[in-house]
Amino acid sequence: MSAADARRLLPSVDAVLQVAGPATAAARRRLTNMVREVLAEARTSGGSRGGELSAATVARLAGERLAERDRPTLRRVINATGVVLHTNLGRAPLSAAALAAVMDAAGAVSVEYDLAAGRRGERHGHAAQLLADLAGAEDAIVVNNNAAAVLLTLAAVAARREVVVARGELVEIGGGFRIPDVLSRSGARLVEVGTTNRTYARDYEAAIGTKTAALLRVHTSNFRITGFVARPEDGELAALARARGVVFIHDLGSGTFLDTARHGLGREQRVPEAIAAGADLVTFSGDKLLGGPQAGLVVGRAALIARLRAHPLMRALRPDKLTLAALVATLVTYREGRADQELPIWRMIGARPAALARRGAALVGRLAEAGIASRVVVTASTVGGGSLPDETQPSRAVALDVASVQVATAALRAANPPVIARVVDGSLALDLRSVLPEDDALLAAAVAHALVGLAVPAPRRKGSATTVRISRQGVSDPVVGLPPRAAPRRSKKEK
Ligand SMILES: *Cc1c(COP(=O)(O)O)cnc(C)c1O
């Protein structure tokens, strides 16, 4: 068929709009554009569709495309990756208390209003006292994220002056956050000392001159240097900074108030420990191990925090009312000693393998009801989000037999809600450490719906060879095991 013939078989835009009959002028405009797009494609494909396209068909095609385009891309997902703090999946889920606080703060709220005095108040006051108390610091301030906290701190303390940093700590965190770049953006000048693996207090000392404003220590959040390594203790840097009249800034990165070592992980220095060790300013994230909303927190000396608060950048970096509400609620949970039980990330990190195995067995049962075969396997999960590099925890996942892992993971991503799975040694696995127990039923339903026809059917008979026997204590021995990527171990933090 010639192009001219094909054209004759296509409806006019008006004819399609007549069929579709959009209600509003705006809807009509959007549909008109989409109809033109569909017709243009039909024209250039030269009638290869074979035959006529009716007005109704074009209206349907255009409608489907619009619906596709309108589908929100920012969606709630189930994180079955086994990475508890997944930066691409929004890091820490908020606690119920934080969520309730966000709802409360959504309307009119006293974000910059002093209710006692009846006049304009301090945006930063809400979280500052709580934060300072928890950290054992004099004062605190909140900005949008830790990158902003580092930028503001350097700008307020060291613009047009020098900042001394160990070469082994000139890190890139991810998302383009590089310490040397942030330093130069803040207007400070970087002075590198030491070597990649070894830096001594005397290296810092030799670098301090009349232009020096600060010593900066940066947590190497996402890698680990082991072997022939040396770095001064915080206390040595603090004493040196004090003696020479410069500021000691410590970018802790994740920043935790709880002890990670209780959960078989390496020990992360806690925020109060960094303050107690003599740092003048400590910066950390709100949505990493703190388990709150995205935020950047700075705690430390009152006189320095006052300089940050008064800096012109502060206005550009200030947090919104929803962030403040969620952060305050999260901090209150710490103050009341309920963080372990109530903050989602600590519930995930604290989950015992036996409990994960029981949930895995239940999920296997639910999937079997939908005719999908699966089994509980041993995995190693990570905390992620730029904390505890190389550290893993023993975890349990539900592994699925699928013809194509690629097709199945795509189907899971298209599920409702989308499920982000992990692939361990070529197998599709749903790691339960990063899933909250209250989401298990939703996970089962989403997976069952998405994988019907893609997964190997579950055997009809009970107790067949592919069924993993589950005891009341958990998965009976031997668990069908995917070897953990790295053996769980305690970290030997380089000193
Ligand atoms: C994660 C991290 C940052 C950046 O924090 P965001 O809250 O993601 O902006 C900065 N420094 C260190 C050491 C980090 O680990």
pLDDT band for position 400 (cuts 50, 70, 90): very high
> For residue 262, what pLDDT band results from cuts at 50, 70 and 90?
very high
Q: Tens digit of pLDDT for each residue in 181-192?
A: 999 999 999 999
What is the token pair recorded at 481? 């095991």
Instruction: Report the topology of domain 94-342.
Output: Aspartate Aminotransferase; domain 2 (3.40.640)
Whose alpha carbon is nearest atom 13 of ligand 1?
Answer: 253
Q: Which residue's CA is the closest to the ligand 1 atom numbered 12? A: 253
Residue nearest to atom 2 of ligand 1 (CA): 253
Higher pLDDT, 436 or 17: 436
For residue 150, report the distance from its CA to the centre of ligand 1, in Å: 9
Radius of gyration of the chain (CA): 28
pLDDT at 313: 97
pLDDT value at position 340?
97
| pLDDT for the residue numbered 248 | 98
Distance 241 CA to ligand 1 centre (A): 23
CA of residue 68 to ligand 1 center, whole Å: 35
Q: How far is the CA of 39 from the centre of ligand 1 (A)?
A: 49
479 — pLDDT class (breaks 50, 70, 90)? very low
CATH of segment(s) 347-486: 3.90.1150.180
Q: The whole model's pTM is what?
A: 0.87
Prior bond to 437 cis, omega within 30?
no
Q: For the chain, what's the residue count?
A: 495
Q: By three-state DSSP, how is residue 300 classified? A: strand
Q: What is the pLDDT of residue 465?
A: 36
Query: 73 C-alpha to center of ligand 1: Å?
Result: 25
C-alpha to C-alpha distance for 53 and 47, rounded to whole angstroms: 9
Supply the residue whose CA is at minimum distance from atom 1 of ligand 1.
253
Q: pLDDT digits over 275-326, tens only? A: 999 999 999 999 999 999 999 999 999 999 999 999 999 999 999 999 999 9
* Ligand 1 cavity residues, CB under 6 Å: 145-147, 150, 173, 177, 218-219, 221, 251, 253-254, 285, 296, 386
Average pLDDT over residues 200-207: 98
**Segments making up each domain of the chain, as ranges:** 3-70, 94-342, 347-486
Choose which residue among 151, 153, 173 to substitute to test ligand 1 binding: the one with the highest number of ligand atoms within 8 A of its C-beta.
173
Atom of ligand 1 nearest to the CA of 222: 15
Half-sphere exposure of 424 (CA within 13 A, CB side): 28
pLDDT for 243: 98
The pLDDT tens digits of the residues spanning 70-124 come to 888 999 999 999 999 999 999 999 999 999 999 999 999 999 999 999 999 988 8
Which of 216, 252, 285 to mutate for ligand 1's pocket (most ligand atoms within 8 Å of CB)?
285
Mutate-to-test residue for ligand 1 from 85, 89, 146, highest number of ligand atoms within 8 A of CB = 146
For ligand 1, atom 14, which residue shows the shortest CA distance?
Answer: 253
Q: Residue 271 in contact with residue 252, Cβ under 8 Å? A: yes
Distance 432 CA to ligand 1 centre (A): 26
Residue 51's pLDDT is 58
Tell me what the pLDDT averaged over the chain comes to. 89
C-alpha dihedral over 69, 72, 78, 83, to 10 degrees?
90
pLDDT at 389: 84
Q: Name the band, by pLDDT with cuts 50, 70 and 90, for residue 459.
A: low
pLDDT at 36: 93
Closest CA to 319 of 49, 80, 128: 128
What are the tokens at 420? 């982000």
Cα-to-centroid distance, 478 and ligand 1 (Å): 41
Task: Specify the 3-state DSSP secondary structure of 80.
Answer: coil
Q: CA 102, CA 327: separation in Å to the nearest integer?
A: 9
User: If you take atom 8 of ligand 1, which residue's CA is the nearest one?
Assistant: 146
From the CA of 253, how far away is ligand 1's center (Å)?
5
Rounded-to-integer distance, Cα 396 and Cα 357, Å: 6
Question: pLDDT by residue (tens digit) across 428-456?
Answer: 999 999 999 999 999 999 999 999 878 77
User: Looking up tokens 């039923």, which residue turns up?
Assistant: 441
Percent of the chain with pLDDT over 90: 73
Ligand 1 centroid, distance to 284 Cα (angstroms): 7
Under the banding of pLDDT at 50, 70 and 90, the label for residue 176 is confident
